[in-house]
Amino acid sequence: MPTTDELDERLVALLRDDARASFVELAKELGTSEGTVRSRLKRLVDTGVIRQFTIRTAGKAVKALVSVAIETNVNTSAISQKIAKWAGVMDVWEVSGDEDILVRVDVASTEDLNEIIERIRGFPEVRHTHSRLILREL
């Protein structure tokens, strides 16, 4: 992991709140020059500290977390990568614990959510799933 300092960390925190902030706005907030912000941001992107800039939308009507337990000695990454490409899947994380994969879903209906869960269960390597509806997002 590339090294970062306090200014880098503050810059990343500001971008998490508003990735559309201008270099001038960021510089003012950080108490530095626009050129410093521009060069630091380029370095953070070039070194992989910042991998992408995203947006956060209001989303669809149904949001859920789906935990997936995989059989032992199975390539979890291969399954994760397939799931990540599906419509309605926002994030996929490989995690430790009783389950191996955590999927964040954002779809229009419970029927759409159920379709994703059934697709996941269609992998022969999947032992079980556990779903949680997201009631409120802060």
Tokens 């291969």 found at: 78
Q: What is the pLDDT of residue 54?
A: 72
* Distance, CA of 26 to CA of 23 (rounded, Å): 5
Residue 55: per-residue pLDDT: 64
Which tokens go with 115?
């379709």
Q: Which fold has domain 62-133?
A: Alpha-Beta Plaits (3.30.70)
* Regions in the chain scoring below 50 on pLDDT: none
In whole angstroms, give the CA distance from residue 9 to residue 4.
7
The pLDDT score that the predictor gives to residue 87 is 93
Q: What crossing angle do the helices spanning 23-30 and 34-46 adopt, rounded to 10°?
A: 100
Q: Which fold has domain 6-46?
A: Arc Repressor Mutant, subunit A (1.10.10)
Structure tokens at 61: 């009507």
| Residue range 11-21, pLDDT digits in tens | 988 888 888 89
Cα-based angle 106, 110, 114 (whole degrees, multiple of 5) = 90
Report the C-alpha gap between 80 and 19 in whole angstroms.
27
pLDDT for position 13: 87
Q: How far apart are CA 137 and CA 131, in angstroms?
A: 16
What's residue 103's pLDDT?
98
Q: What residues does each domain of the chain span?
A: 6-46, 62-133
